[in-house]
Structure 1
């Protein structure tokens, strides 16, 4: 039976949670295959959702710090309880006449490292519970603001009251909160009316597979991407059979001439077997894959 190891790049449809997508794929591949997702998307959002299978699930952490891209629609004039279209309107204000120059000046405030307060309806933990659970129960909670980084924030179009933005950012950024704060800075409030994730690290929307195309195990195998793709910035170390045997058993090997502090190790057949970190004159395995 073909080994199910690698990533699926899913174009998540609206109305599905990330866990819904995982459950769908697990039904196709069987309960014995590990399945996990890399990067939660809200149910109303669409776009790139990487799904890891088998030992590739151990590489999900390599995508946590990866840059992500989004295309979002900010609807000005209405602030909601959830900062997106799923919430109830809280405040409604008229949208003033805004020039493109004024929009660009406001967007400039949100580029680089900024301090962002997460939405109350989020999956962050508060006293051991999810914030959204407490918020739905009517509890008044305040989530601490935290620094996040927005590498790019571009104005795509403006057709009042909708402002379309393209965002590239690091981990921890809530596009819903960004939409809220842009509306606040413009003096009329706003919320996120639509969101599409365009990339996560090396995974792009152009290569994403509609979930409906995955109908059986064979279709999953057909669309698997090798796990090494998330390690493209790690130097490659090709091991001999003897070295591969040592690494598979958690043992160090001489570092050789590769000038690097980390490396991905392949066995003589080209299969990824471990992640290595340099310790003086030796490579030590930090993750070993069966």
Structure 2
């Protein structure tokens, strides 16, 4: 049976946790194959969920800082306990008659570097416990604002009471909190009514396969992307046999280009064998894939 190594990009349906998706994939590939996901989606959210198989799970950490894209529907006039449609209503307010210019002026406050207070119902730790566990138990949870960066925030549509936005951001941004704060700034409150993730780093919605379409191991294998897909922004060092052997043994090598501070090493057959960091004039392996990864 062929080894399964790489990423499958799944279009997560609403109603499942990211862990649920991983469990379903694990049932298809068997318990001996490592499976993990890159970037948790809330159960109500849909869209791109990269799932790594085999030794590609060792590349998940390379996607932690990857830019992510979303399309969200911000429903004005109703605040909820969770800042999304899963929560109980906290307050309602009449939605004012807003112009596009007025909405754009508010959105501009949330572009670039901002301070954002995470939702009380989040996985962040408070005194050693998850914030959502404390909130579900009826405790008042107030999390300190954190600096985050919103790279892109675009108004796609205004169909009262819904403001549809496109967001591109780095790690740490809660789109639920963004919806909440936009509603507050508009003076009527809001919650996130729907969310679709459109990309995670190099993994795009156009590549995604519906979870229901993955009916067996063979079908999943057809949608498998090479591990190095997660590293498209890393320059390549194509090594000769001697340097490939050194790298596979964890030894530093001397090599020319690229001039970046990191690179992915490929053996003469083109297989990914290691991630390298520049150390002066040498390249030091920081993660080695024994024998190379399958294309």
Q: Does the CA-based 8 Å contact 1:255-1:278 persist in structure 2?
A: no
Question: Structure 1, residues 124-160: CA drift from partner, whole Å, max 9, x if none?
Answer: 1112211111110111121111011101111111111
What does 1:5-154 align with in structure 2 at a 5 Å threshold? 5-154=5-154
| Separation in structure 2 between the aligned mates of residue 158 and residue 235 of structure 1, nearest angstrom | 42
Are positions 1:157 and 2:138 aligned together?
no
| Separation in structure 2 between the aligned mates of residue 130 and residue 259 of structure 1, nearest angstrom | 42
Question: Structure 1, residues 22-44: CA drift from partner, whole Å, max 9, x if none?
Answer: 00000011111111000000000
Q: Which residue of structure 2 aligns with residue 265 of structure 1? A: 265
User: Greater CA deviation, 78-87 or 214-223?
Assistant: 214-223
- TM-superposed CA distance for 1:76, in Å, is 0.4
- TM-superposed CA distance for 1:257, in Å, is 4.5
| Separation in structure 1 between the aligned mates of residue 138 and residue 72 of structure 2, nearest angstrom | 28
- TM-superposed CA distance for 1:71, in Å, is 0.5
Q: Does the CA-based 8 Å contact 1:120-1:142 persist in structure 2?
A: yes
Give 3-state SS (helix, strand or coil) of 1:109's partner: helix
Question: Structure 1, residues 146-183: CA drift from partner, whole Å, max 9, x if none?
Answer: 01110111111111111111111111110000000000
Q: Does the CA-based 8 Å contact 1:234-1:262 persist in structure 2?
A: yes
| Separation in structure 1 between the aligned mates of residue 258 and residue 45 of structure 2, nearest angstrom | 43
Give 3-state SS (helix, strand or coil) of 1:237's partner: strand
Q: Does the CA-based 8 Å contact 1:116-1:146 persist in structure 2?
A: yes
| Separation in structure 2 between the aligned mates of residue 163 and residue 262 of structure 1, nearest angstrom | 41
User: Greater CA deviation, 108-117 or 60-69?
Assistant: 60-69
Q: Which residue of structure 1 aligns with residue 293 of structure 2? A: none
| Separation in structure 2 between the aligned mates of residue 69 and residue 170 of structure 1, nearest angstrom | 9
Gaps of 5+ in 1: none
The CA RMSD over aligned residues, in Å, is 0.9
